[in-house]
A and B are shown apart, each in its own frame.
Chain A
Amino acid sequence: MVDVTWGGARVGAQDATERAKALNKLRLGDVIFHAVTRSAALLVLLLLGGVMVALFLGSLPALTTFGFDFVTTQSWNPVTEKFGALAPIYGTLITSFIAMLIAVPFGLLIAMFLTELCPMWLRRPIGIAIELLAGIPSIIYGIWGLFVLAPFLQQYVQPALIATFGNVPVLSSLFAGPPYGIGVLTASLILAIMVLPFVTSISRDVFDAVPPVLKEAAYGLGCSTWEVMRYVVLPYTRVGVIGGVMLGLGRALGETMAVTFVIGNAHKISSSLLAPGTTISATIANEFTEAVGDLYTSSLIALGLILFVITFIVLAIARYMLLRIEKRVG
């Protein structure tokens, strides 16, 4: 038999009871550590449950007062205490939709550049730069949007849009009204710029997961770069790309600061993209601390609940799809 030593204490081989005690201590430590780590893991679940329950309880007064009308009506009037969430929900969906419409093609094309066209020595620096940009806080994008992008759009882009599409049947209503600078279009552009690094870095990772043999075989048959992308890489990575896009969409839906600066916070649905609007997160950020009355606060929390449910569904789908491609690779 050997001596048991731990933590400076040394127990002789002869002393059987001391020895048993020391071993028991070790065993106990093991059990405790297991229990502690397990409860920490369960705490993560509890956190999500807690968010759900707290938001639900907080929004109960609004939901019982307005019922289903809450999500179908547009009026948002703190004076008469009539609240409907349709305008913020519409704003959230439309800004995210336009942002993805811009960011996805750009992101995929940049990822194509990084994986197929870019010279080897440039790949790492550009890749790192994009990942660093993905980490920049959204408030930075917001302040830039407010002071640089919005005035630029107001002076040059929006008048041009109004002049160009003013007489085109459908588009004229999309680009109607005076050029405010801030509004739905500006918010969508800021969101697109913000989401772009995400979409790019995920698509690049997914494209990198394509086995080189497949691409080499296609090139060997005489395929052009575009044909390799279109008929080999994209079909192979479709699930992963969709997952990455959904992940970006989740970010865009929940984004607060970048949007709040430039959306204009107007509770009405306008057909024009140049008009000010609002999103769920911008409404909460702008009005929560000033909300007087339980019903007002509760309505804002109900907005938060709706946002959480929407993003939860989108993110869950995204994770599920990314998991599928991970399984295929590894």
Chain B
Amino acid sequence: MDLAIYNSRRRRNVVATAASYGATGVGLAGLAMILIVLFWEGFSGLSLAVFTEMTPPPGSAGGLLNAIVGSILMTVIAIAIGTPIGMLAGTYLAEYGRHDKVSSVVRFINDILLSAPSIVVGLFIYEVMVVPMGHFSGIAGAVALSVIVIPVVVRTTEDMLMLVPNTLREAAASIGLPRSLMIRHIAYRAARSGIITGILLAVARISGETAPLLFTALNNQFYSHNLNAPMSSLPVVIFQFALSPYEDWQKLAWTGALIITISVLALSIIARALTGTRKAS
């Protein structure tokens, strides 16, 4: 009798453990397969022309230059808009209003915005910018991306400022430093690497965003850095080219996907290294 119970417990444990090993194996293999196919397909199309030529019409050779430039331009502007707002809001949550009622509401809403569907952000910017302006534009795309940047920066700024020891704040106050100067010169400096990490993660987050750009920046087959006109971007070009029936377009889509993945992985690894050194010191 006892032995039967013992055996059934043992069996159950073996089954569960095996399932756990199996799930990990299958999960990691599946995700590894995506990366392997991506690198295989992407590298075979990678050449200098990708970075020096425009997106081609179907059937001829070309590159992704206009898309890369458009992506970089919109990302830079989005970060330039989103970072100050996000940092200031995060500062309020961590420094002035740590225990406010308002702060807890803002925190809650911010967390929801953090994972809100990005296509809805695209619709929002379409309504408030594209419709009044009368046409699609690069700046609308950049603003749409900045709406995605803000919650990321708010969250990391707040978290990082929370880690700053209170003794630093008290020391600053004791020599008569006003609170705003304490925040800007002491707290920001102490939390700097963490805040930079947050910005890098925000860049990583928006560099692959497609949905908010589809109907704000639209696309542009030619080189353009006019922010008042439709602007092409890597993700949108990938979307368009991958769904096309032309083989050379599909090839370029894979290459573009590889470029995005490598930049996102590089940004996340740098961000991780930054916080890692901070913790170690």
Interfacial residues, chain A to chain B (CB-CB below 8 A)? 6, 26-27, 29-30, 32-34, 36-38, 40-45, 47-48, 50-51, 54-55, 57-58, 105-106, 109-110, 112-114, 116-118, 126, 128-129, 131-133, 135-144, 146-148, 193, 196-197, 200, 224-227, 229-230, 247, 250-251, 253-257, 260-261, 281, 284-285, 288-289, 300-301, 304, 307-308, 311-312, 315-316, 319
Q: Does residue B80 face the partner (Cβ distance < 8 Å to A)?
A: no
Q: Are B127 and A301 in contact (CB under 8 A)?
A: yes
B residues in contact with A30, CB < 8 Å = 178-181
Q: Are A140 and B89 in contact (CB under 8 A)?
A: no
A112: nearest chain-B partner, CB-CB: B20
A200 to B250, CA, bound (A): 32
In the assembled complex, the CB of A39 is this many whole angstroms from the nearest CB of chain B, namely: 8
B residues in contact with A131, CB < 8 Å = 268
Q: Are B112 and A312 in contact (CB under 8 A)?
A: yes
Q: Does residue B43 face the partner (Cβ distance < 8 Å to A)?
A: no
Most B CB contacts (10 A, CB to CB) among A54, A247, A281 go to: A54
B13: nearest chain-A partner, CB-CB: A224
B residues in contact with A251, CB < 8 Å = 115
Interface SS of A by simple majority: helix
Per-residue A-contact encoding for B76-116, CB less than 8 Å = 1, 0 else: 00000000111011011101110000110110111111011
Q: Are B211 and A34 in contact (CB under 8 A)?
A: no
In the assembled complex, the CB of B91 is this many whole angstroms from the nearest CB of chain A, namely: 5
Tell me the chain B residues, 178-211 only, with Cβ under 8 Å from chain A.
Answer: 178-181, 183-184, 201, 204-205, 207-211
Q: Are A257 and B88 in contact (CB under 8 A)?
A: no
B243: nearest chain-A partner, CB-CB: A261
Q: Are B243 and A27 in contact (CB under 8 A)?
A: no
In the assembled complex, the CB of B188 is this many whole angstroms from the nearest CB of chain A, namely: 12
A131 to B26, CA, bound (A): 17
A109 to B93, CA, bound (A): 36
B residues in contact with A26, CB < 8 Å = 178, 181
Contact segment of B27-35, B44-52, B56-64, B164-172: B27-35
Given contacts A30-B178, A117-B17, contact A139 B238 (CB under 8 A): yes
Q: Are A256 and B119 in contact (CB under 8 A)?
A: yes
Which of B21, B34, B88, B121 makes the CB contact (< 8 A) with A51? B121
What are 30 A-to-B residue pairs whose CB atoms are below 8 Å? A33-B183, A38-B97, A40-B85, A40-B91, A41-B89, A44-B151, A45-B109, A54-B123, A55-B127, A57-B127, A110-B27, A112-B16, A113-B21, A114-B24, A136-B208, A144-B37, A147-B41, A147-B250, A147-B254, A148-B34, A193-B34, A224-B13, A256-B117, A257-B239, A285-B211, A304-B119, A308-B116, A308-B117, A316-B112, A319-B108
Given contacts A40-B85, A41-B103, contact A139 B23 (CB under 8 A): no
A34: nearest chain-B partner, CB-CB: B96
A41 to B10, CA, bound (A): 55
Q: Are A48 and B113 in contact (CB under 8 A)?
A: yes
A304: nearest chain-B partner, CB-CB: B123
Which of B92, B181, B214, B264 makes the CB contact (< 8 A) with A38? B92
Q: Are B124 and A50 in contact (CB under 8 A)?
A: yes
Q: Are B23 and A225 in contact (CB under 8 A)?
A: no
A residues in contact with B113, CB < 8 Å = 44, 47-48
Q: Are B23 and A132 in contact (CB under 8 A)?
A: no
Per-residue A-contact encoding for B141-168, CB less than 8 Å = 1, 0 else: 0000001001100100000000000000
Q: Does residue B38 face the partner (Cβ distance < 8 Å to A)?
A: yes
Given contacts A109-B23, A261-B243, A308-B120, contact A37 B91 (CB under 8 A): yes
Which of B26, B38, B208, B250 makes the CB contact (< 8 A) with A138? B208
Q: Are B111 and A319 in contact (CB under 8 A)?
A: yes
A98 to B82, CA, bound (A): 36
Q: Does residue B231 face the partner (Cβ distance < 8 Å to A)?
A: no
A residues in contact with B260, CB < 8 Å = 137, 139-140
Q: Are B24 and A140 in contact (CB under 8 A)?
A: no
Q: Does residue B118 face the partner (Cβ distance < 8 Å to A)?
A: yes
Most A CB contacts (10 A, CB to CB) among B89, B91, B119, B209 go to: B119
In the assembled complex, the CB of B104 is this many whole angstroms from the nearest CB of chain A, namely: 9
A residues in contact with B265, CB < 8 Å = 132, 135-136
Per-residue A-contact encoding for B8-24, CB less than 8 Å = 1, 0 else: 01101101110111111
Given contacts A140-B260, A319-B108, contact A55 B24 (CB under 8 A): no
B residues in contact with A255, CB < 8 Å = 117
B207: nearest chain-A partner, CB-CB: A137
A residues in contact with B108, CB < 8 Å = 316, 319
B residues in contact with A304, CB < 8 Å = 119-120, 123
A146: nearest chain-B partner, CB-CB: B242
| Other 13 A-B pairs with CB < 8 A, given A55-B123, A136-B261, A229-B16 | A30-B179, A40-B89, A44-B89, A48-B113, A126-B28, A142-B242, A146-B243, A147-B242, A148-B34, A226-B15, A256-B211, A307-B117, A312-B116
